[in-house]
Structure 1
Amino acid sequence: MPVISAPYAFNESQLYIDLQSILGRPLYLKCEGFNFAGSIKLKAANEMVEAAERDGLLTPDSILVESSSGNLGVALSMIAASKGYRFLCVTDSRCNLSTRLLMEALGSEVHIIADLDANGGFLGARIDYVRALCANDNRYVWLSQYTNPGNWRAHYRTTAPEIAGHFPRLDVLFVGAGTTGTLMGCARYFRKWHRPVRIVAVDSVGSVAFGGEPGRRMIPGLGMSMRPPLLDESYVDEVIRVEEGDTIRTCHRLARRGFLFGGSTGTVISGAMDWLHRHDTRGITAVAIAPDLGERYLDTIYQTNWLQDLYGDQILDSEQETVDSRRVEPMPRAAGRRRKS
């Protein structure tokens, strides 16, 4: 039994779920939500804060500030409270109420952006607000999860080796794409591994992370309204975009079997099932990364009125995968790309 003195010292990283009996496809789910921050974002938050401390950027008078749709904000709130820093999370109106209340309970300040940016999202407006704060007050320290290499290094050092240790014959890995920190860290690690691993990025329809037209996105977590600065597409074999309706149905399907996951996890699983449905899966070892749990989505994804208001009365009529509604973009690996480090 672990004994800890700081909340960020605990992170259960060895739990996997075999989804074969539930979804009918060979898929192992790496659960990353069992820590005091409730999501995979604890790893990146730890890495970025520790790097800022080593570099002398954080002092007792510093105020941490970050733009976040929710989960990184909670992780930084927890770390800031434990270490004695002040923290301001700049989020937007899509952030779940329970997430905002949790950050405030941990002593953080939350600022909500309500104006859309040019791409129909909130990210640009959030970043502009953070930049203005930092320009006017040098006490603010912006970790910038969108550009900070600590974001992907956290997963290069932890998440990917954890998977490799459990699945030495891994064939395909499904990773959700937001800032692309998890995606890039895992992809870089497996590029150097002893066997080829197909890296499949799972994005939300309406995100412009991999190009395309922006669209409405109501579920926070995955997806971006700008190209992620950390993204290097040469490490990605394929991109799958998932409609929010499919995310919601996947979440409810798993909940009816006792597994309550969040929107990011529902998106990743839905994309993985699409890919597995279209490929010969005999003898394949496939793993998907589950970034979050579902408690923070009780007033959105799991709330009937919210669903009906945004997606219509028929949103939960069928648990079947609506594969035809998804757009899939294969990205064939160019010759010699495995040699890139």
Structure 2
Amino acid sequence: MRVISVPHEFNEEELFIDLRASLGCPLFLKCEGFNFAGSVKLKAATEMVESAERDGTITPDSVLVESSSGNLGVALSVIAASRGYRFVCVTDSRCNLATRLMMEALGSTVHVVTDHEAGSSLLAARLEYVKGLCEADDRCVWLSQYTNPANWKAHYRNTAPAIARGFPQLDVLFVGAGTTGTLMGCARYFSDWHRPVKIIAVDSAGSVTFGGAPGRRMIPGLGMSVPPPLLDGSLVDEAVLVDEEDTIRTCRALARRGFLFGGSTGTVVSGATKWLARHPDTGLTAVGIAPDLGERYLDTLYQENWVRALYNDDLTPPPTSPHRPGLGLPLRTT
């Protein structure tokens, strides 16, 4: 029996799914959504708050503020509620309704940015609003997930070692790229490890993180509209871009096998599937990190009207046979 006093003391670290049975893909998926925040972001939130408490940046009357597309906002809401801090999350119109309601239920204030200047991004508008909050009230503490080294240190200390323990013969690791905290923490850890591991970053098409052209992105989580300050590209072996249509198809194919995951996870699995199809080495040990679960996406990527309105297609995979896994996942491999 395990007994905890605060929510961040529980995080399921050792759960992996073998996707060969579900998708016919030689990939082990590390599930990071089984905690009270529902995503991998609980680790970064905990590390950033505890680091700021240790150095005195956060005091008992501090008001925590952060820009987030959703999952980190929920994680910080959990931490703030358990520690007695006020928290203001600045998000934008792409944030799922369920995510906003969850943050508010935890006692946080949610400000949704809907307008931005021509030529700028919603992220830039969010950051400007955060800066304005800090200038107006000196109690405000901006944790800045985009620049805070505690973001990647959380994964250097926790996520990557758990993968190494479970897969001592690991060959390739697939990590989604948002702020690149998870990516950099894992990349730095395996760079220091005793054997080589390929680090494959998985990013959303339309993200500029790895030099691509900016484009529309409607699924929150992965991807950036500005180059992420935490990224050290020398630690990444390759980047794979995934169209949002493929993210949705992958999520729905996994759901048809009983695994309801979020958009970030669908992107990672889609990117890993594409990469592994180009490298058909049956001896590879491959792991992907699944950042989130799917309940917060029920009114978006699992909702027919939302999908049809944005992509002119329902993107529903055909039924799969339990004896022929993977047939419901029509992903491009080039």
Please, what TM-score do these two structures have when normalized by structure 1? 0.93
Q: How many residues align?
A: 325
Where do 1:222-301 residues align within 5 Å?
222-301=222-301
Residues 46-98 of structure 1 show CA distances to partners (whole Å, capped at 9, x for unaligned) of: 00000000011111211000000000000000110010000000000000000
Residues 148-200 of structure 1 show CA distances to partners (whole Å, capped at 9, x for unaligned) of: 00000000000000000000000000000000000000000000111100000
Note if contact 2:317-2:330 (Cα within 8 Å) is conserved in structure 1: no
Note if contact 1:175-1:289 (Cα within 8 Å) is conserved in structure 2: yes
Note if contact 2:248-2:266 (Cα within 8 Å) is conserved in structure 1: yes
Residues 270-326 of structure 1 show CA distances to partners (whole Å, capped at 9, x for unaligned) of: 0000000011221110000000000000000111111111111352255333315x6
Equivalent residue, structure 1, for 2:330? 321
Q: Report the more deviating stretch, 220-229 or 119-128.
A: 119-128
Where do 1:94-243 residues align within 5 Å?
94-116=94-116, 121-243=121-243
Aligned mates of 2:119, 2:170 — CA distance in 1: 37
Q: 1:119 to 1:290 in 2, by over 3 A?
A: farther
Note if contact 2:46-2:79 (Cα within 8 Å) is conserved in structure 1: yes
What secondary structure sits across from 1:125 in the alignment?
helix
Structure 1 residue ranges without an equivalent (≥5): 327-341
Identity %: 71
Aligned mates of 2:302, 2:120 — CA distance in 1: 25
Aligned mates of 2:216, 2:183 — CA distance in 1: 23
What secondary structure sits across from 1:17 in the alignment?
strand
Aligned mates of 1:258, 1:169 — CA distance in 2: 29
Counterpart amino acid of 2:73? G
Note if contact 2:62-2:85 (Cα within 8 Å) is conserved in structure 1: yes
What secondary structure sits across from 1:320 in the alignment?
coil
Equivalent residue, structure 2, for 1:55? 55
What secondary structure sits across from 2:80 in the alignment?
helix
Equivalent residue, structure 2, for 1:336? none
Note if contact 1:37-1:78 (Cα within 8 Å) is conserved in structure 2: yes
Counterpart amino acid of 1:323? R
Equivalent residue, structure 1, for 2:28? 28
Q: 1:117 to 1:50 in 2, by over 3 A?
A: farther
Q: 1:118 to 1:271 in 2, by over 3 A?
A: farther
Counterpart amino acid of 2:115? D
CA RMSD of the aligned region, Å? 1.2
Note if contact 1:117-1:124 (Cα within 8 Å) is conserved in structure 2: no
Residues 87-129 of structure 1 show CA distances to partners (whole Å, capped at 9, x for unaligned) of: 0000000000000000000000000001246666311110111
Equivalent residue, structure 2, for 1:71? 71
Aligned mates of 1:309, 1:235 — CA distance in 2: 39
Structure 2 residue ranges without an equivalent (≥5): 319-327
Note if contact 1:119-1:214 (Cα within 8 Å) is conserved in structure 2: no
Note if contact 1:119-1:226 (Cα within 8 Å) is conserved in structure 2: no
Counterpart amino acid of 2:11? N
Counterpart amino acid of 2:245? G
Counterpart amino acid of 2:44? A
What secondary structure sits across from 2:110 in the alignment?
strand
Note if contact 1:119-1:225 (Cα within 8 Å) is conserved in structure 2: no
Counterpart amino acid of 1:276? L
Counterpart amino acid of 1:285? T
Please, what TM-score do these two structures have when normalized by structure 2? 0.95
What secondary structure sits across from 2:121 in the alignment?
coil
